[in-house]
């Protein structure tokens, strides 16, 4: 009598979303789907359209790649997916009887930006009683809000760049006062949507004459805008993973981003469309003491925000050797050529093993408040 083979762990990979980072989320999902072991895991690819509709999507990584400059997008023609309490999945197609896909053991949320990375999806999964990869509601929300993030990092004793928060109402009512506060940061400054990523809506502003336009452009992504002082230094990054079995978080080797003179900063085109304009040095060419200090600070930042699963901590390394925490990204870009997986590959954990570890730590995590 043949023994029944063990049931594969069922994973719902969720990607796309309503934010301006929809396409980047699709690219990330394509990379993850290409390495999840189908012998161990039963994969259910779920796309979220730009309108917010959940659909049973194609799991073909080729369809989720940037091809000849074309950005991928979730096709919302598939059957609508409903996540029921108790981690069940149901597909509803027009004119058809709803069909059950079965229970999901863990969700791998690969959405970037608002409505996915910011705690909203995490809250939905908590309510449904479903385990998921990555940080919980609090850390996800804080990690998405650059203003709140800086406050918590600063209060934890970590150095951050000075900034001014510009909210839409305050900008309309107290523009002169806020402009004066921004001028105290010194020119140039960087204007950023408070709750967006992938350099969406980010601008370098050299003087007050260009400030209005830059803030208006950032407000197209978020009514809350952060204006930061420009920090002279090298851009270095460190990956952090939740410890296995309750152990302390682990930090990767340090990496450095170098961009060509064609870009004033690490903008969207440099990140995703013009790869030849960017050089990733892994490990970064820095003194061993500096690298170790950055790794300790990365773990401290991870813990200060109550992160889980994974995070990428970005720094500025000043010419005098001091480090400034730029931000903590709770769902960093995750394609095979993204900084986060490459950092861990150089640290001895290849792409497939990295994905597997993140799934395992999510499965080990208890449900409910933690």
Residue 270 CB burial class (10 angstroms; 0-12, 13-18, ≥19): buried
Q: Length of the chain in residues, anyone? A: 370
Alpha helices in 238-287 (DSSP H): 268
| Tens-place pLDDT, residues 194-215 | 987 657 789 999 999 999 999 9
Distance (Å) of CA 279 to CA 130, 241, 347, 357: 39, 24, 19, 27
User: In the predicted model, what is the mean pLDDT of residues 20-30?
Assistant: 88
- For residue 97, what pLDDT is reported? 43
Mind telling me the catalytic residues? 21, 198, 272, 312, 314, 327, 329, 333
Residue environment code for 12-49, b if the CB has 16+ CB neighbours within 10 A, otherwise e = bbbbbbbbbbbbbbbbbbbbbbbbbeeeebbbbbbbbb
User: In the predicted model, what is the mean pLDDT of residues 352-368?
Assistant: 90
Least confident of 15-24, 38-47, 83-92, 159-168: 83-92
Least confident of 95-104, 141-150, 176-185: 95-104
Q: Whole-angstrom Cα distance, residue 66 to residue 57? A: 17
User: In the predicted model, what is the mean pLDDT of residues 238-266?
Assistant: 84
Strand positions, DSSP E, the chain: 9-16, 41-48, 54-56, 80-84, 88-92, 99-103, 106-109, 163-167, 189-193, 203-205, 224-229, 234-241, 250-259, 278-281, 310-317, 323-329
pLDDT band at 140 (very low <50, low <70, confident <90, very high): very high
Q: Are 140 and 117 in contact (CB under 8 A)?
A: yes
User: In the predicted model, what is the mean pLDDT of residues 43-58?
Assistant: 88
Q: What angle do CA 89, 195, 15 make, to 5 degrees?
A: 25
Whether 143-160+232-350+359-364 and 163-229 share one fold: the answer is no
- For residue 114, what pLDDT is reported? 85
Q: Whole-angstrom Cα distance, residue 147 to residue 165? A: 7
- For residue 55, what pLDDT is reported? 87
Q: Which residues pair with 241 in a beta bridge?
A: 250, 310
The 3-state secondary structure of 95-119, one letter per residue? CCCCEEEEECCEEEECCCCCCCCCC
- For residue 274, what pLDDT is reported? 45
Least confident of 147-161, 223-237, 252-266: 252-266
Least confident of 24-38, 66-80, 293-307: 66-80
- For residue 277, what pLDDT is reported? 64
Torsion angle of C-alpha atoms 111, 124, 223, 19, degrees rounded to 10: 30
Least confident of 51-60, 70-79, 318-327: 70-79
pLDDT band at 62 (very low <50, low <70, confident <90, very high): confident
Name which CATH class applies to 163-229.
Answer: alpha beta
Least confident of 171-175, 265-269, 307-311: 265-269
Domain 143-160+232-350+359-364 homologous superfamily, CATH: ATP-grasp fold, B domain (3.30.470.20)
Least confident of 84-98, 133-147, 157-171, 206-220: 84-98
Closest CA relative to residue 162, chosen from 232, 227, 233, 224: 227
Longest Cα–Cα distance in the chain: 81
Options 1.25.40.10, 3.40.309.10, 3.40.50.20, 3.10.270.10; CATH of 9-132: 3.40.50.20
| Tens-place pLDDT, residues 87-135 | 566 666 654 544 555 688 999 999 988 888 999 999 988 988 889 999 9
Torsions phi, psi of 359, nearest 5?
A: -65, -45
- For residue 272, what pLDDT is reported? 46
Residue environment code for 72-90, b if the CB has 16+ CB neighbours within 10 A, otherwise e = bebebebbebebeeebebe
Which two tokens mark 292? 């170790």
Structural domain boundaries in the chain: 9-132, 143-160+232-350+359-364, 163-229
- Listing from the earlier edge strand, what are the strands of the sheet with 278-281? 278-281, 250-259, 234-241, 310-317, 323-329
User: In the predicted model, what is the mean pLDDT of residues 247-276?
Assistant: 69
Q: Is 208 helix (H, G, I), strand (E, B) or coil?
A: helix
- For residue 101, what pLDDT is reported? 57
């Amino acid at each position: 009598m043949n023994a029944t083979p063990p049931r594969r762990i069922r994973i719902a990979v969720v990607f796309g979303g309503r934010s301006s980072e929809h396409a980047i989320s699709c690219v990330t999902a394509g990379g993850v789907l290409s390495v999840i072991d189908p012998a161990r895991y039963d994969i259910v690819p779920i796309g979220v359209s730009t309108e917010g509709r959940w659909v049973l999507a194609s799991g073909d990584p080729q369809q989720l790649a940037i091809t000849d400059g074309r950005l991928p997008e979730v096709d919302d023609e598939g059957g609508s997916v409903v996540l029921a309490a108790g981690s069940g999945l149901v597909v509803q197609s027009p004119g058809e009887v709803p069909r059950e896909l079965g229970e999901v053991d863990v969700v791998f949320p690969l959405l970037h930006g608002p409505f996915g990375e910011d705690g909203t999806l995490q809250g939905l999964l908590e309510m449904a009683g479903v385990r998921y990869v990555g940080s919980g509601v609090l850390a996800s929300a804080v990690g998405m809000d650059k203003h709140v993030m800086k406050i918590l990092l600063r209060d934890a004793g970590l150095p951050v760049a000075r900034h001014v928060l510009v909210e839409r109402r305050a900008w309309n009512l107290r523009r002169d006062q806020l402009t004066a506060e921004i001028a105290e940061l010194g020119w140039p400054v960087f204007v950023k949507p408070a709750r967006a990523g992938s350099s969406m809506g980010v601008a370098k502003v050299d003087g007050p004459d260009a400030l209005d336009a830059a803030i208006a452009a950032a407000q197209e992504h978020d009514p809350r805008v952060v204006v930061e002082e420009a920090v002279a230094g090298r851009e270095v990054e460190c990956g952090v993973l939740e410890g296995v079995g309750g152990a302390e978080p682990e930090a990767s080797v340090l990496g450095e981003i170098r961009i060509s003179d064609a870009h004033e900063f690490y903008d969207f085109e440099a990140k995703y469309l013009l790869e030849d304009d960017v050089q990733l040095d892994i490990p970064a060419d820095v003194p061993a003491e500096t690298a170790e200090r950055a790794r300790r600070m990365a773990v401290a930042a991870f813990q200060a925000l109550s992160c889980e699963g994974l995070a990428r901590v970005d720094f500025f390394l000043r010419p005098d050797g001091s480090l400034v925490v730029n931000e903590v990204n709770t769902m960093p870009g995750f394609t095979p050529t993204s900084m986060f997986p490459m950092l861990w590959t150089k640290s001895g954990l290849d792409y497939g093993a990295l994905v597997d570890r993140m799934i395992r730590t999510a499965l080990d995590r208890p449900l409910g408040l933690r």
